[in-house]
């Protein structure tokens, strides 16, 4: 994900806490999501970030075949008349 702010953007990873991140690039305090602050091109145009993105891609591909734990349902607080 790429949230864009006034002076920077974040290169976000939805399952960032699962990634190895040996270079400690990821920041954040959420249960799952982590990101890299991007303020200049060198913040993302480097082999360390490329390796992290590749790891995230590989994780996503592995996850595609896993069955979901959730079964869809509709929740509504609107009362029928």
Cα(38)–Cα(49) distance, integer angstroms: 11
CA distance 25 to 44: 10
Q: What is the residue whose two structure tokens read 């992290």? A: 52
Element of type H or E holding 49:
helix 47-64
Query: How far, CA to CA in Å, does 21 sit from each of 18, 67, 73?
Result: 9, 26, 35
- Tens-of-pLDDT digits for all 81 residues of the chain? 999 999 999 999 999 999 999 999 999 999 999 999 999 999 999 999 999 999 999 999 988 877 666 666 666 667 666
Q: What share of the chain is helix, strand, coil (3-state, %, to 5)?
A: 30, 15, 55
Q: What is the pLDDT of residues 20-32, one digit of tens each?
A: 999 999 999 999 9
Could you tell me the pTM of the whole model?
A: 0.74
């Amino acid at each position: 994900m790429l949230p864009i702010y006034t002076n920077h953007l974040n290169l976000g990873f939805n399952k960032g806490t699962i990634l190895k991140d040996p270079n400690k690039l990821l920041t954040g305090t959420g249960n799952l999501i982590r990101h890299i602050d991007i303020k200049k091109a060198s913040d993302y145009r480097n082999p360390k970030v490329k390796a992290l993105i590749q790891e995230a891609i590989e994780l996503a591909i592995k996850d595609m075949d896993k069955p979901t734990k959730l079964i869809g349902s509709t929740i509504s607080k609107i009362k029928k008349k």
